[in-house]
Amino acid sequence: MTGTPTERPRTGRELVARLAREELRPAWRVLAVAITCMVVVALTTGATAWLLDPAIKSIFLDRDPDMLILIPAAVIVVSMVKAVASYGQAMLMSSLGQRIVSNLQIRMFEAIMRADLAWLNANHSGRVVSSFVNDAIHVRDAASRIIAGLVKEALTVVVLAGVMFYQDWQLACIALFVLVPAVGMVKRLSRRTRKASQRTFEETGTLSTLVSEALTGMRIVRAYGQEAHETEKATASIERRLAHLVKAIRARTASTPFTEALTGIGIAAAIAYAGWKGQSGAMELNEFVSFIAAMMMAYQPVRALAGLQTQLQEGLAAAERLYAIIDLAPTIKDAPDASPLEAVQGQIRFDGVSFSYGGEGPPALAEVTLDIPAGTTAALVGPSGAGKSTVLNLVPRFYDATAGAVRIDGTDVRAATLASLRGAIALVAQEPFLFDDTIRANIAYGRPGASEAEIVQAARDAAAHDFIEGLPQGYDTRVGEAGLKLSGGQRQRIAIARAMLKNAPILLLDEATSALDTESERQVQAALRRLMRGRTTLVIAHRLSTVIDADRIFVLDGGRVAEQGTHAELLALDGLYARLYQTQLSDDTDTAGTPAPEEPRAAARG
């Protein structure tokens, strides 16, 4: 993913240090108890192996009747302690792991909320979601396994090795020496695992993107009969992901037969050497059994330790991706000396504004100067790609001008706090976005905390109250994903009600181009007129009536203001606007007088 990180750690060591500092340190109490439990597990495992020595010696060889009670009792006590400690460790580490996931996800979400629109546009939502869901889990798994590994497994190995050395140091040396080749092998395998898991992640991102597009674009997929094509694309991605997964699994599990074989060799060597010592009377049976038990018990944690390196690599790769999101440094933010806009009148000025997306290609806007007095309506018209949406984007600082300044009541928008700037603006987009929530919640989004009476009034003003009342659950009706359970006109009126409730002095309006039937169109128009009353409105106009009624019309062409004036002045100029208008008029006559919302744009495209 692309981004502008502030202090993203580069090396594995830096990442580990950061994970320890930011994710583990806050939970050090829980961690300390969990580690104590692990130490107890390691010690009790060692004790079990050691107990076999007195068990055999005093019960079988010395035939001591007291020991027949004492040793089983000791085994039970040790096992009970181990059971409680294992439970404590597993439970604490699991809940600590989940807490780490939640904390990381909260910070990622906050970062996404702050992120520049440019970053969000550059990174497909499917990939961001995949990172959001999967990476935190990878980090959790790696962190909990590594902590458990480093503390419990490593300590268990040390304690068991202690038992082995206590019983016979030469024999212990033989048993442990066998493990040396495993270290080199594990290192080689971990490199392979890291590569495969990085590729798996990339493919998971591609797959998430495919699934999310197939779902959001399902109507187009069906309409064009592309179900098989989409399935093919998804299958190919799933197969590629599977191949990478299998590679990672192969590398990860390749250490198993290796350590298994080494275990066999180690045991065989120990039996041969111990047997030789036993036959010559230098080693007792009880020592031998205790030694072999310790050795066999030690191999399981050794195997777990062998897998740690690969888990560490996977976890670090995930942590790097996730911190890249957490560290996103938005460029659109409050300036250090920003002050809130107060008592906004709503005058909007563009002073020689130039802008280009991503700094490449021809500028989307070039030295645009607009002056929109407070309380008036300005319409933006012009061919497709002329820069109309870009003008709208610069007012609430979705992007910042590359040159020149956008001012509200004379204040550069970059000198105002974002909260006060956006608080003074209501936005009604061409495709109104509704959340999968109730109608009430969707309207109240305009002003959280608004009373029921205010919500209903906003709905009445937006000509939405009647249809809402007609729904079986009224204001409690859920609108479905992106509001798809409502008609286009209904969605627009909810969006207008939301803007009504916000009651901001500035209204940015991108008129809908989707064809509504005459009645719906009339209702939306009436609602819009009420919404625009008394506010400064900057509207991308697709409706003839909006264009004609506007106080001022700016005709954009190729990112520049080609013409400006009132409808009458621009007609008299007989330039681009007059041509756009004539084309629209003749198209309107063709469509039997029904206002054709898309016309100015469509005419311009032609």
Ligand X SMILES: Nc1ncnc2c1ncn2[C@@H]1O[C@H](COP(=O)(O)OP(=O)(O)OP(=O)(O)O)[C@@H](O)[C@H]1O
Binding site for ligand X (CB under 6 A): 121, 357-358, 364, 382, 384-390, 601
For ligand X, the closer of residues 222 and 605 by Cβ is 605
538 beta partners: 378, 508
Q: Give me the least distance between CB of 390 and ligand X, in Å please.
A: 3
Q: Give me the least distance between CB of 334 and ligand X, in Å please.
A: 23
For ligand X, the closer of residues 149 and 363 by Cβ is 363
For ligand X, the closer of residues 112 and 364 by Cβ is 364
Query: What does the block give as tokens for 267?
Result: 């045991």
Compute the distance between CA of residue 275 and CA of residue 282 in angstroms, rounded to an integer: 10
Q: Give me the least distance between CB of 128 and ligand X, in Å please.
A: 16
Compute the distance between CA of residue 369 and CA of residue 405 in angstroms, rounded to an integer: 9
Of 31, 105, 314, residue with least CA distance to 193: 314
Q: With beta carbons less than 8 A apart as the criterion, state whether 382 and 559 touch.
A: no
Q: Give me the least distance between CB of 553 and ligand X, in Å please.
A: 14
Q: Give me the least distance between CB of 392 and ligand X, in Å please.
A: 8
Q: Give me the least distance between CB of 116 and ligand X, in Å please.
A: 11
- Helical H runs in 217-281? 218-223, 227-253, 255-279
For ligand X, the closer of residues 201 and 554 by Cβ is 554
Let me know how many helices (H) and strands (E) the chain has, helices first.
24, 10
For ligand X, the closer of residues 106 and 122 by Cβ is 122
In eight-state DSSP terms, residue 475 is G
For ligand X, the closer of residues 36 and 389 by Cβ is 389
Q: Give me the least distance between CB of 465 and ligand X, in Å please.
A: 32
CA angle 113, 423, 343 (to 5 degrees): 155
Q: Which residues contact 194 (CB under 8 A, 6 or more apart)?
A: 310, 313, 314, 317
Residue/partner pairs of 109-117 with CB below 8 Å, 24 or more apart: 111/325, 111/326, 111/327, 111/328, 112/325, 112/328, 114/328, 114/330, 114/333, 115/328, 115/330, 116/328, 116/330, 116/331, 116/332, 116/399, 117/332, 117/393, 117/398, 117/399
Side chain identity at residue 33, one-letter code: V
For ligand X, the closer of residues 315 and 396 by Cβ is 396
Q: Give me the least distance between CB of 402 and ligand X, in Å please.
A: 12
For ligand X, the closer of residues 225 and 358 by Cβ is 358
Query: What does the block give as tokens for 381?
Result: 């018209």
Q: Give me the least distance between CB of 386 and ligand X, in Å please.
A: 4
Q: In what order do the strands lie in the sheet with 560-565?
A: 425-428, 506-510, 536-540, 377-381, 552-557, 560-565
For ligand X, the closer of residues 160 and 538 by Cβ is 538
599 beta partners: none
